[in-house]
């Protein structure tokens, strides 16, 4: 039997109310309210009795109404620098995906090299890591897997290891690439935020990249060599991609905004002459 949203909402609300009364005498009033809100929010997210965004926006309102926090304090995390950084990264990623700039970049890189199988595998992994530095790991993996598997369609691999290398290489490269920047994956930004809260030290976008990028550039060749060793293949050549794509005006504008954002993230502010002009 499939429950409607109304029934799900009533069930979740009843469970959260029950937890409030069941914890009487065990927890302080504020703790009971916080526990109730936690169960309510988790239940609404899991059941989707309300749209996910609506549940998220409902939390600070209920925090204020239940006396857990003041309304100003409840809204403060929404405007945390880490959240704004992630929001900017997400908006850029949407623009890149909408105008197929990521596909254009991937095709341009992979089409400029010969068909040496090992080199193309490494190049595919590096391209995946490059994209994963700026868009989500899932999006970069999906894009690069489609391109990588297209290169193997006309190749006969007696051992069947080439596809394994490409699939694992793309997956691992996306994960490692996300470590290189603060917007590569949500975990890096959250780690920077926790570091600031716990120690008072605020790491900059450039500072994180100076630490993360060398790790990425070191790990990619290591993963590449391990995959070639663990899954040997007798394929020596892969067909190069034939690129007929041309950058359209929207892609150019997106690329300009993308590059400008990277510069501002790295420097932390506008150049002095431009700041005075604005």
Q: What is the pLDDT of residues 227-251, one digit of tens each?
A: 988 888 777 766 665 655 677 888 8
CA distance 134 to 130: 7
Give tens-digit pLDDT for 68-85. 888 788 887 777 777 777
Give tens-digit pLDDT for 164-220. 888 899 889 989 998 888 888 878 878 888 888 888 888 888 888 888 899 999 999
Nearest to 43 by CA among 1, 12, 75: 12
* CB count in 10 Å sphere of residue 92: 19
Give tens-digit pLDDT for 116-138. 778 888 888 888 898 888 877 87
CA distance 231 to 138: 24
Beta strands in 89-141 (DSSP E): none
State the sign of the Cα–Cα–Cα–Cα dihedral 142, 143, 145, 149.
positive
Nearest to 262 by CA among 162, 170, 202, 181: 181
């Amino acid at each position: 039997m499939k429950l409607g949203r109304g029934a799900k909402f009533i069930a979740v609300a009843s469970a959260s109310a029950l937890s409030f009364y069941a914890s009487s005498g065990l927890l302080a009033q504020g703790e009971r309210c916080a526990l109730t809100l936690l169960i309510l929010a988790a239940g609404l997210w899991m059941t989707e009795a309300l749209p996910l965004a609506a549940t998220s926006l409902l939390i600070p309102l209920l925090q204020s109404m239940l006396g857990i926090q003041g309304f100003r304090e409840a809204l403060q995390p929404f405007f945390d620098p880490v959240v704004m950084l992630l929001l900017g990264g997400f908006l850029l990623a949407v623009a890149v995906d909408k105008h197929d700039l990521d596909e254009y970049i991937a095709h341009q890189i992979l089409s400029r090299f010969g068909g040496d199988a090992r080199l193309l595998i490494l190049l595919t992994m590096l391209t995946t890591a490059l994209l994963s530095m700026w868009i989500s790991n899932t999006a970069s993996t999906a894009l690069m897997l489609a391109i990588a598997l297209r290169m193997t369609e006309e190749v006969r691999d007696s051992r069947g290891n080439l596809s394994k290398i490409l699939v694992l290489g793309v997956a691992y490269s996306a994960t490692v690439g996300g470590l290189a920047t603060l917007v590569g994956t949500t975990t890096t930004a959250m780690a920077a935020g926790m570091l600031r809260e716990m120690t008072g030290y605020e790491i900059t976008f450039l500072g994180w990249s100076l630490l993360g990028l060398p790790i990425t550039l070191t790990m990619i060749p290591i993963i590449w060599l391990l995959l070639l060793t663990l899954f040997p293949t007798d394929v020596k050549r892969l067909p190069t991609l034939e690129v007929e794509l041309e950058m359209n005006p929207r892609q150019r504008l997106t690329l300009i905004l993308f590059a400008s954002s990277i510069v501002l993230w790295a420097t932390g502010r506008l150049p002095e002459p431009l700041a005075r002009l604005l």
